[in-house]
Amino acid sequence: MRLDGRTVLITGGTQGVGAAIARRLAEAGCDVLVHGLRDDEAAAQTLAECRRAGVAADLILGDLARPPDQAIGELMQRLGDRAATISLLVNNAGTYCDRPFLDMDVETFSRTWYLNVAAGYFLTQAFARRWIPAAVRGRVLFTGSINGVLAEPDHTAYDTSKGAVLAMVRSLCVALAPYGIRINAMSPGLVVTPLTEPALRDPAAMAWMQLHTPNRQVPGPEVCAGAALFLLSDEAEHIHGQNLLVDGGMSVWQQPDLPDALRSKLTGL
């Protein structure tokens, strides 16, 4: 699966899943524009790793957790002439918030919605408006989440936003497939990233998550990169409006098998 001659824009691409995708697409011959919030060590490392693959890689800064009429307009301005070279878009930027429903405030919910949902919607629109007149068969990948199909306690804003992403993928597929533009999603289960790592430092928390995953793994974000490459490649030409779960089987398992010690403890309650 090669992407030679193409250029991709990856939002939220300086670390975690976005950075893993950037590295994998660069290895496949794709020039990379990595969007991030700040020019920091993580961004520099991601760009260096992409450039080692022999492709062009640059950083685009911008805060997408704002009303999209501001955020997307500024991002497109910063892209300038480079926007014309982009035929692949990965809407990966996102935030992960945990707050009980009864404590949720409008500001936190709004920033979650702007970044996880509205930014991808209107950035896709901005590129579709360019691609359609130029007959560019663009490809768009959204980073969803297992939270889009399974609820997590105290994550109502995040769960709602990721559920909306999956609905958006289906709807945008219907709107854009007639123009040869493909829209799909790749949804990780639990992977170790800068956002999730603090919670997984507790060995008990890590063991609990492994227990709930059939393959017993909580891997790094690199497991998502191959799926992203596939969905953006020619090999997925007839795949439209789909969501590929990369979750070690977590989403298909109703209840995990309990270790004997834990089973005894629970049955004794």
pLDDT at 98: 81
In this predicted structure, the answer to whether residue 212 has a pLDDT above a threshold of 80 is yes
Residue 196's pLDDT is: 87
Confidence at residue 29, expressed as pLDDT on a 0 to 100 scale: 98
Q: Output the pLDDT for position 64.
A: 97
Indicate if the pLDDT at residue 256 is higher than 90: no
Q: Which domains are present in the chain?
A: 7-267 (3.40.50.720)
Residue 154 has pLDDT above 60, yes or no: yes
Query: Does residue 185 sit in helix, strand or coil?
Result: strand
Q: What does the pLDDT average to over 40-66?
A: 98
Residue 70: pLDDT over 60: yes
Can you give the pLDDT at residue 42? 96
pLDDT score at 243: 98
Edge-to-edge order in the sheet of strand 31-36: 57-61, 31-36, 7-10, 88-91, 139-143, 182-188, 243-246
pLDDT of 248 strictly over 80:
yes
Whether residue 53 is predicted with pLDDT greater than 70 in this model: the reply is yes
Could you count the other beta carbons within 10 Å of the beta carbon of residue 53?
17
> Measured between alpha carbons, how far is 68 from 41 in angstroms, rounded to an integer?
27
In one letter, which amino acid is 102?
Answer: L
